[in-house]
Amino acid sequence: MLALCQSASAGVMIISLDPNTHTPSDVPFNDIGGNPVSVFGWLQGEILSWNNNIGTPTLPDPTTGHIRQENLTSGPTVQVEAGDYIVAHYGVGPNGVPGTGGGLVAYYADASQSFTLPSSGGGPNGTGGISFVDVWDHTGGGPGPGGGGSVPDGGSTLAMLGMSLAAVGFARSQRKARA
């Protein structure tokens, strides 16, 4: 049971799960690719898998405040806030699984801190050096790495508010018609 709650550091835990055993693991990079949109979609799936199979703690949905560090030669130190997600890519390395492109590992920060990622992957797919790190800052601002500002919602909040008010108005008119 200890492996299910494996921590990389106080307040940061590995949340990427082996699809067969549901224990913390890296996953084959070639299945996802390096596009940040693909990595974000994979991260959302890993959060769902964690919540369905582990469940403690219940992980919140990630937000789109994002920053990437690339071309790394050692494990970087990133500033994270409680609620941030970190995804790291490690090359195949000497003991990784050939043909996988290395491994992706997802972490969740449940406390604000400096977090130093390992320079080499823990496997099984990627045991080589780190090549990139993505951080999804839950606030889109603040001292975390996604502090470049918030992401506009494209008007969806206003549309949902309008639909909600219309539904309330419709329900009210139906109630008055019955009276």
Report CA-CA distances (Å) from 104 to 25, 82, 112, 139, 148: 9, 21, 23, 23, 24
pTM for the whole structure: 0.72
138 and 173 together in one domain: no
Task: Write out pLDDT tens, residues 90-128.
Answer: 999 999 999 999 999 999 999 999 999 999 999 999 999
Give the range of the structural domain holding residue 99, as residue numbers without chain letter: 2-148
Domain count along the chain? 2
Q: Where residue 146 falls among pLDDT bands split at 50, 70, 90? A: very low
Arithmetic mean of pLDDT, 2-22: 68
Give me the helices (H) in 122-155, please.
Answer: none
133 and 71 in a common domain:
yes
- Bridge partners of 80? 113
Q: How confident is the model at residue 137 (pLDDT cuts 50, 70, 90)?
A: confident
**CA 163, CA 108: separation in Å to the nearest integer?**
34
Q: Tell me which of 143 and 72 has the higher pLDDT.
A: 72
Whether residue 158 sits in one domain with residue 142: no
167 and 142 share one domain: no
Quick one: 24 and 51 in the same domain?
yes
pLDDT beyond 90 at 177: no
Q: How far apart are the first and last CA of the chain?
A: 59
Residues 99 and 54 in one domain: yes
Q: Which residue has the higher pLDDT, 88 or 162?
A: 88
pLDDT in the model for residue 144 = 38
Q: Structure tokens of 170?
A: 């419709």
Chain segment 37-61, per-residue pLDDT in tens: 999 999 999 999 999 999 899 999 9
